[in-house]
């Protein structure tokens, strides 16, 4: 594994460009009988897809909308040799575009980071001490959760609530008399939505990802390919997701099992993964995270039907 470390940080290793020979896919084959996308057969499939979505999508604590990138994605890398960094960046950006994420122009201010480090615990602490801005306004328990991680990865998303029009909330001080600035006490800061258009509360708020970070531990990559690492990072950067659980293998192939079931992991983004991302970025800005379940199954069905050459409108 030290050879792998040298390859990514310095020398080259062609084997990294190919997925492990043992990688398998348990996706529904895109061939044969089209009945899988219609009728009762699809209803059973849909239920399984939505169950897997529930297991992999991180829920929000309140009725707040599901978080995603609304601003253009500006990806940077850290501690990765230039050759490999370029491959990883190009792959992630291609995935993002396919999902419906806008890409920033060259010279942009980074709002996403991928790093491959020699000691993920040490480097996490280093980031926390020396580059705290990458944690934004995360609460202590959120930083602690990210620090614990789940395997060879430490990952987190910084989210900011904004008005539906994209304007950040304004922080104002509320005095004890309920006014702004005229009370007898310093009072407390309250976030004020500045947008002028009205509507129900949840319809006037969106949650913007303003920074996402993925740290890979070099000694725990277990022969993963650059494509797999890039695609895994894509799923953690662009959506608030969990890794697949080791003791509960997913029914549909997903790159999120890369570190818990490397043999059963696909060589890149699976149909399910693409459906989850495209479903998320196709939702209204005010949609709750629970809307991702149906959105994922809906896009999955379309992707599968397209592969099968089935016209869903005429088939039903």
Quote the crossing angle between the two packed helices 226-238 and 82-99, to the nearest 10°. 50
Whats the size of the chain, residue-wise?
316
- Beta bridge partner(s), residue 171: 191
Classify residue 30: in a domain, yes or no: yes
Q: Kindly give, in sequence order, each residue whose CB lies less than 8 Å from that of residue 147, ignoring residues fewer than 6 positions away.
A: 121, 124, 128, 154
Q: Residue 4: its pLDDT value, please?
A: 44
Per-residue pLDDT of the chain (316 residues; tens, 9 = 90+): 444 444 555 433 333 333 443 444 456 555 445 667 888 888 999 999 999 999 999 998 777 899 999 999 999 999 999 999 999 999 999 999 999 999 999 999 999 999 999 999 999 999 999 988 899 999 999 999 999 887 789 999 999 988 877 667 555 455 555 555 555 445 554 444 455 555 555 578 899 999 999 999 998 888 899 999 999 999 999 999 999 988 788 999 999 999 999 888 999 999 999 999 999 999 999 999 999 999 999 999 999 999 888 877 665 6
Structural domain including 59 reads: 2-163+210-315
- Which pLDDT belongs to residue 144? 93
In whole angstroms, how far apart are CA 107 and each of 54, 73, 110, 234, 246? Answer: 37, 12, 9, 21, 40
The CA distance from 83 to 12, in Å, is 8
Q: Whole-angstrom Cα distance, residue 192 to residue 187?
A: 15
- What value does the CA radius of gyration of the chain take, rounded to a whole number of Å? 21
pLDDT of residue 5: 47
Residue 198 covered by a domain: no
- Residue 71 domain-assigned? yes
Q: How many domains does the chain have?
A: 1
- Residue 254 burial class via C-beta count within 10 angstroms: exposed 0-12, middle 13-18, buried 19 and up: buried
**What pLDDT, on a 0 to 100 scale, did the predictor assign at position 177?**
54
For residue 80, the Cα-to-chain-centroid distance in whole angstroms is: 21
List the one residue out of 273, 275, 270, 295 whose CA is nearest residue 283. Answer: 295
**pTM more than 0.85:** no
In a domain, 194, yes or no: no
- Give the Cα separation of 316 and 307 in Å (integer): 17
- Per the domain annotation, does 128 fall within a domain? yes
Q: What are phi and psi of 214, to 5 degrees?
A: -130, 120
On whether residue 54 sits in a domain, the answer given is yes
Residue 316's CB is within 10 A of a number of other CB atoms, namely: 9
pLDDT at 166: 65
In a domain, 178, yes or no: no
Nearest to 262 by CA among 224, 216, 290, 292: 224
Burial class (CB in 10 A: 0-12, 13-18, 19+), 135: middle
Residue 267 lies in a domain: yes
Question: What is the β-pairing status of strands 188-192 and 170-174?
Answer: antiparallel
The confidence score (pLDDT) of residue 110 equals 96
- The pLDDT assigned to 248 comes to 81
> Residue written as tokens 């040490």?
122
């Amino acid at each position: 594994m030290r050879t792998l470390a040298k390859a990514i940080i310095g020398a080259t290793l062609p084997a990294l460009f190919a997925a492990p020979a043992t990688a398998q896919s348990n996706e529904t084959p895109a061939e044969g009988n089209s009945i899988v996308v219609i009728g009762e057969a699809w209803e059973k499939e849909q239920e399984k897809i939505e169950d897997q979505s529930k297991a992999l999508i991180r829920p929000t604590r309140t009725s707040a909308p599901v978080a995603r990138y609304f601003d253009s994605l500006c990806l940077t890398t850290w501690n990765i040799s230039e050759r490999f960094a370029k491959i990883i960046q190009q792959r992630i950006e291609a995935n993002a575009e396919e999902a419906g994420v806008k890409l920033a122009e060259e010279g942009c201010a980074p709002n996403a980071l991928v790093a491959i480090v020699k000691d993920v615990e040490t480097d996490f602490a280093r980031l926390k001490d020396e580059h705290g801005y990458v944690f934004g306004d995360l609460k202590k328990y959120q930083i602690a959760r990210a620090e614990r991680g789940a395997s060879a990865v430490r990952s987190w998303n910084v989210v900011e609530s904004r008005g539906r029009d994209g304007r950040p909330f304004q922080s104002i001080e509320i005095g004890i008399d309920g006014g702004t600035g005229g009370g007898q006490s310093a009072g407390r800061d309250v976030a004020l939505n500045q947008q002028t258009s009205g509507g129900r509360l949840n319809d006037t708020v969106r949650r913007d990802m303003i920074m996402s970070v993925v740290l890979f531990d070099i000694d725990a990559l277990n022969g993963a390919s650059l494509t797999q690492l890039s695609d895994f990072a894509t799923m953690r950067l662009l959506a608030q997701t969990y890794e697949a659980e080791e003791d509960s293998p997913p029914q549909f192939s997903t790159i999120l099992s890369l570190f818990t079931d490397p043999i059963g992991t696909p060589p890149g983004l699976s149909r399910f993964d693409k459906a989850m991302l495209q479903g998320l970025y196709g939702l209204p800005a005010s949609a709750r995270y629970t809307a991702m379940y149906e959105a994922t199954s809906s896009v999955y069905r379309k992707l599968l039907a397209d592969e099968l050459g089935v016209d869903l409108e005429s088939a039903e």
